[in-house]
Structure 1
Amino acid sequence: MTTLTDTLDPGSLLVDTAARVAAAGISPGSSGNISIRAGDRVYASGTGAELGRFGSGDVAELTIDGAHLSGPKASKEVSLHLAFYRKNPTHTAVVHVHSPQAVAVSCLEPWSAQSAIPPLTPYFVMRVGQTPLIPFRVPGSPELAELVAALEFPFHAALLANHGQITSAVDAGRAVDAAVELEEVCRIVLLTSGHERRLLPEADVTALSERWGTPWSV
């Protein structure tokens, strides 16, 4: 699995992460936002920042509780990022994008209460895991963070209804990899829509999730 050089300082790592997200083609225009957690500090993309042109001047520094310390005003979605860090305390990166296939699937009814997406490929299970659908709230609403916190089962990714996708991981490289894989499996969901699908065997899903450390309890 490809990873970013997480030995960079957090601001530089955020710039590199923005470049990788943009290169993957999953963050159209000025949409999407990213963050890096380092100890009790969070470094997030500034409001309105375009990830394809992201630079050091676009980095906002916050406390883990969301208080602004330096740089531009953080993205309006920062409360959602903080909710993912609280849910997954070992994670140090969050990626939120409006990738088109994920947005399309987020407009559909979920496969189950714990995962909007069924176990169609081993790579989805290995790199993402169960991905619940978070009910729609307007972008930037604090209620999105509350809805994430209210779900008691584990997850490292979610679809935001009629909005987009969000992933978190132990490092920035894996968070981007998960976002790319989530977009790919959403493409497969759409391609197989209306057809009789063959899902991965339950025993194999369990084995893959245990081996790769991804949540799957559907």
Structure 2
Amino acid sequence: MSEETRLREEICRYGRSLFERGLTPGSSGNISLRLDDGGWLVTPTNASLGFLDPARISRLDAGGRLISGDKPTKEIPLHTALYDSRTEARAIVHLHSTHAVAVSMLPEIDPKAVLPPLTPYYLMRAGATALVPYFRPGDPAVADAIRGLAGRYASVLLANHGPVVAGTTLEGAVFATEELEETAKLYLLLRNLNPRTLSPDQVQDLVSHFGLTLPEHRNCPSEGDGHRHG
């Protein structure tokens, strides 16, 4: 089995898992992988993540031109912007997961820190999450908004739309997206109940112990360009 064949099957496997657990309904959501030659594999437009065909996944060259497979998702601009600003990223997952979308609509959300540090695994996997204003799906202007974050965030929440998460592997991007969704669910369950979040000292302990790099915001004292964990 070639490496590209393996990656195509990996996209299908994770896509089906996300779909079957209700994390992205219908034909919503998309996944991409950046290849060693600079090209991409990306899920096609109007394709359900639960029923992907490895042979029909879109293959793009380094310039974003379609080489083979079906027409790619219209969300190419947001994938391109995140890859350009986070050069270590090799995979991106974009979902329309219910709880994350719900949080994106709340008036009190801090665009520099969408969710408070409720659990260590949210920080370890997703890091801090930025909120990007609403843009029409597929609008190239979303790319400018993401580039404006200067690569500081691996996880971004599009207002009234859904999360976009980058990772060094597809598994890592999927796990981070799932952690973001679960933390959004916790936030909605605890909203207005004055929950006990991780203290600045507890956050700093995670930063020191796991080598996290988090954008500066009101809950996390460190500054950097993303996150990593071991």
Give the fraction of aligned pairs with identical amino acids, expressed as a percent. 34
Aligned to 2:18: 21
Aligned to 1:94: 92
Letter in 2 for 1:9: R
Give CA-to-partner distance per residue, 1:43-66, whole Å, 9 cap, x none: 000000111111124300112332
Give the Cα separation in 2 of the matches to 1:190 and 1:13: 32
Aligned to 1:3: none
Aligned to 2:222: none
Q: Give TM-score, length-normalised by structure 2.
A: 0.86
Over aligned residue pairs, what C-alpha RMSD do you find?
Answer: 1.9
Letter in 2 for 1:215: L
Q: Cα 1:88–1:197, aligned 2, differ >3 Å: closer, same or farther?
A: same
Q: How many residues align?
A: 213
TM-fit CA distance, 1:193: 1.2
1:9 and 2:6 equivalent?
yes
TM-fit CA distance, 1:182: 0.6
Q: Higher mean Cα deviation, 200-209 or 174-183?
A: 200-209
Equivalences for 1:48-67 in 2 at 5 Å? Answer: 48-67=46-65
Equivalences for 1:25-174 in 2 at 5 Å? Answer: 25-39=22-36, 40-109=38-107, 111-152=109-150, 154-174=152-172
TM-fit CA distance, 1:7: 8.8
Letter in 1 for 2:43: S
Give the Cα separation in 1 of the matches to 2:66 and 2:28: 21
Secondary structure (helix, strand or coil) at the match of 1:9 reads helix
Q: Give TM-score, length-normalised by structure 1.
A: 0.90
Give the Cα separation in 2 of the matches to 1:116 and 1:64: 32
In structure 2, list runs of 5 or more residues that go unmatched. Answer: 218-230
Give the Cα separation in 1 of the matches to 2:169 and 2:213: 14
In structure 1, list runs of 5 or more residues that go unmatched. Answer: 1-5
- The list of structure 1 runs, each at least 4 consecutive aligned residues, that deviate by more than 4 angstroms after superposition, is none
TM-fit CA distance, 1:153: 5.8
Aligned to 2:216: 217
Q: Which one scores higher on RCO, CA 8 angstroms, separation ≥ 6?
A: 1
Instruction: Verify the 8 A CA contact 1:127 1:214 in the aligned structure 2.
Output: no
Give CA-to-partner distance per residue, 1:176-217, whole Å, 9 cap, x none: 101111110000111111221322111221332451535242
Q: Higher mean Cα deviation, 17-26 or 190-199?
A: 17-26
Instruction: Verify the 8 A CA contact 2:81 2:147 in the aligned structure 1.
Output: yes
TM-fit CA distance, 1:32: 0.6
Letter in 1 for 2:157: L
Instruction: Verify the 8 A CA contact 2:85 2:151 in the aligned structure 1.
Output: no
